[in-house]
Structure 1
Amino acid sequence: MQSQPIPSLDIDRLRADTPGCQDSLFMNSAGASLMPQPVVTAMQEYLQQEIQLGGYEVERLRISQTTRFYDETARLLNTHPSNIAYAYSATDATIQVLSAIPFRAGDTILTTTNDYVSNQLAFLSMQQRLGIRLLRINDLPNGDLDLTHLEELIRAHRPVLIAITHIPTNSGLVLPAEEVGRLCRQYDVWYLLDAAQSTGQLPLDVTLLQADFLVATGRKFLRGPRNTGFLYVSDRVLEAGLSPLFIDRRGATWTGPDAFTLQPNARRFEPQEVSLLHVGLTEAIRYANQVGIEAIRGQNQRLMRRLRTGLEQLDGINRLDWGSHQGNILTFNTSRQPLPALEAALRQGRVVFTAQYPSSALIDFQRKGIDWLIRLSPHYFNTLAEMDEVVDLMAHILR
């Protein structure tokens, strides 16, 4: 079968929608990306209306528009609006999920060695307070997840939850989320997928991923505002009656002095407050859907191929991305320059990037024998010429 051509994008139009990319080499979409102008405009209009009428009245007037969030997010994930809940962040959504599963002392959670730091901290806190067991899946020598070891752990420990981060924050590694989902269904284990770094850069189809819960943030590759996110909840979860421990008034109706009725859908996991940030996230998801996630992935592949190839040809670069599948995060360090000098040179060259330290990914840093790294994460509004400019700048810095 012949492969389908990768759709092309109108890069000039996308860059015109992204004023922030004009004056810098923006390589930080894995941290907090640049919002397109339609997102900013939607929030400005909402705020201006709030100034005139107050938050509650604006929420009442815009109630029909609120449903667009569920429709657009469902379209992004190939699911139904009833399976989507708004969240203040991916971590906020994760905490709601963890509170919904009735863990008991001795229960097991399986995760990876490069799960997101906030998730790891939550699991460790549960281990200390609730007596759950936290076990980590081995990696293969090339950095890929060892699926054989995962199945062995499932058989030996019968975990209540398997939780993985689709793309870790500290490397370009893409974990085999669909394969993990198949094992979770085979052995009837709850499956939590942190898609904070993959949402907005890769296609995500929950019918293929088979996750029970998928959490995402708005500020990264989705190009929405900070303090926004969403949660996908499977029908299996809803049918099982799971709900967060601390339910907000949006998630349930108080029906008697000692009784309440849950929302029948994923909104039982939602917080009460709706604001201009909610509007901004809705517009960001609509924008991604309009551009097309396959076209976004195609452009991202072209950008990363150029950037990786260019940096690999430079002496003194220590590339730190392991694994056979990689996304739009590239990490490296060098012995040629101390970190403060390298940071200063990159910023002088107008590069927007992130430096990371062991506290963000302790196990991965230890096994790689490093104490810092530089993370570059371009996105589809970037250009091949910008990738070349970053490579040329690094070549000059390493002389």
Structure 2
Amino acid sequence: MIDIDRVRADTPGCRDLVHLNNAGSALPPAVVLETTVDYLREEAANGGYETHQRRESQLDAVYDSLAALIGADASEIALADNATRAWDVVFYGLRFTPGERILTCRSEYGSNAIAYLQQAARTGVEVRVIGDDADGQIDLAHLERELAEPGVRLVSMTHIPTQGGLINPAAAVGALASAAGVPFLLDACQSVGQLDLDVAELKCDVLTGTGRKFLRGPRGTGFLYVREGMTDRFEPAVLDNGSATWTSPGTYELAPGARRYETWEKNYAAVAGLGAAADYALSLGTAAIEARVVALGELLRSTLAGIDGVRIHDLGSSRCGIVSFTVAGLTPDAVKHALAAERVNVSVSKGTSSQWDLPARGLSTVVRASAHYYNTEEEIAQVGSLVERLVADNGPHDPRH
């Protein structure tokens, strides 16, 4: 069980606000701030290269911590400036040919979808969006039928979408892809640090994650997992002195393992902070984190659903700490600004990030509130009261909303 008083004491931001924008960027614990700043101070005092050399064991340990977080080996982990670049370096390394197919889901994230469409225009690869089942998650029966047809080059999807609390059944998707011999690329940007993940159970060949969201690390950090034995199938999109060695005037040699997906230059202070964030999560236990976050998400969902004029838009049979909703008569941006005036942070998800999902449901924008384990039941009740007051202040509304 997580000691909530302790983690709140470890989190300076909890003193002054209710932070329900953890799907955007979570509040870092003090140890992440101190680790990052301490590294920067040493760079300022001793020089960047010199500090790197002195801190090499600390930086190497970051790979071990990230690997432990998802049940991988350190050799299968690469660091990146952000999760999108981690995802890009693998995806754009695949050489698609006309007639091949990429299978994805309706709740896919905008950056990934844009990359699919660009590759379709460039190479002639076909993008097929698997439909939803009755619960609103990826339809496994539809996916299995598509995998039975020849020409599937990649299954790629987002574990938890940016626009709601749905948890796609990634392990079941991974099992189907593995049985069909098709590589599986999983965007775990919203699930790393929120859910208890194990790449062996997920059966993913590639997983990408970020530091700034539920992992509570610095912005501008991300990482990549590539299963041992799969690196030859996912050639890095770009190479430099960090991902390869120039072995002779006319030859080069790729770095071993997942390090071949890295670039030489990094924000090492942020990398140190990312390691501290992973260690902090590991000290609490990822199973305990998941249980707490999912429970707070359900509490927030039921609290808001009980308010006349509020509509919840989360899909799926399994849901997480992200809650999407709308308030009758108010735009999501108006709700966000009204809550911000009361020192409550939420975000807004737009159809431009989820063109295969929100617009198909008649939604252009939703409010996104995302709880983390350091939030409290009292904060959830406070937010419910504030939203209830917004509804009352806004006057009568259409009951069909």
Same fold (TM over 0.5): yes
Query: In the alignment, what sits opposite 2:198?
Result: 205
Q: 1:172 aligns with which of 151, 165, 173?
A: 165
Deviation, structure 1 residue 43: 0.7
Residue pair 1:252, 1:261 contacting (<8 A) in 2 also: yes
Query: In the alignment, what sits opposite 1:266?
Result: 258
Secondary structure at the residue paired with 1:100?
coil
Q: Deviations over 1:91-147 (max 9, x none)?
A: 101111113323223221111111111000111111111211111101113302111
Whole-Å Cα distance in 1 between the matches of residues 30 and 333 of structure 2?
A: 33
Residue pair 2:322, 2:370 contacting (<8 A) in 1 also: yes
Deviation, structure 1 residue 225: 0.8
Query: In the alignment, what sits opposite 1:5?
Result: none
* Superposition CA RMSD, Å: 1.3
Residue pair 1:195, 1:216 contacting (<8 A) in 2 also: yes
Segment of structure 1 superposing worse, 103-112 or 121-130:
103-112
Q: 2:87 aligns with which of 77, 84, 94?
A: 94
Query: In the alignment, what sits opposite 1:217?
Result: 210
Deviation, structure 1 residue 367: 1.7
Query: In the alignment, what sits opposite 1:247?
Result: 239
Structure 2: 5+ residue runs without aligned partners? Answer: 393-401
Q: Deviations over 1:231-283 (max 9, x none)?
A: 00101313x36431311211111111111111121101111123211111111
Query: In the alignment, what sits opposite 2:275?
Result: 282
Deviation, structure 1 residue 340: 4.6
1:345 aligns with 2:335: no
Whole-Å Cα distance in 2 between the matches of residues 241 and 123 of structure 1?
A: 18
Structure 1: 5+ residue runs without aligned partners? Answer: 1-7
Q: 1:62 aligns with which of 55, 60, 73?
A: 55
Whole-Å Cα distance in 2 between the matches of residues 358 and 338 of structure 1?
A: 14
1:103 aligns with 2:92: no
2:235 counterpart letter in structure 1: S
Secondary structure at the residue paired with 2:348?
strand
Deviation, structure 1 residue 381: 0.6
Percent sequence identity over matched residues?
Answer: 40
Change (3 A) 1:340 1:296: closer
Q: Deviations over 1:185-220 (max 9, x none)?
A: 111001100000000010110111111100001100
Residue pair 1:42, 1:279 contacting (<8 A) in 2 also: yes
Segment of structure 1 superposing worse, 92-101 or 376-385:
92-101
Query: In the alignment, what sits opposite 1:390?
Result: 383
Secondary structure at the residue paired with 1:86?
strand
Deviation, structure 1 residue 363: 2.1
Residue pair 2:325, 2:366 contacting (<8 A) in 1 also: yes
* Moved segments of 4+, more than 6 Å: none
Deviation, structure 1 residue 180: 0.6
Query: In the alignment, what sits opposite 2:18?
Result: 25
Give the structure-2-normalised TM-score.
Answer: 0.95
Secondary structure at the residue paired with 2:201?
helix
Deviation, structure 1 residue 156: 2.2
Give the structure-1-normalised TM-score.
Answer: 0.95
Query: In the alignment, what sits opposite 2:69?
Result: 76
Query: In the alignment, what sits opposite 2:361?
Result: 368
2:327 counterpart letter in structure 1: T
Residue pair 1:212, 1:236 contacting (<8 A) in 2 also: no
Whole-Å Cα distance in 2 between the matches of residues 53 and 129 of structure 1?
A: 47
Aligned length: 391
Change (3 A) 1:157 1:112: farther
Whole-Å Cα distance in 2 between the matches of residues 52 and 390 of structure 1?
A: 45
Whole-Å Cα distance in 2 between the matches of residues 242 and 395 of structure 1?
A: 50
Whole-Å Cα distance in 2 between the matches of residues 300 and 341 of structure 1?
A: 26
Secondary structure at the residue paired with 1:111?
strand
1:193 aligns with 2:186: yes
1:141 aligns with 2:134: yes
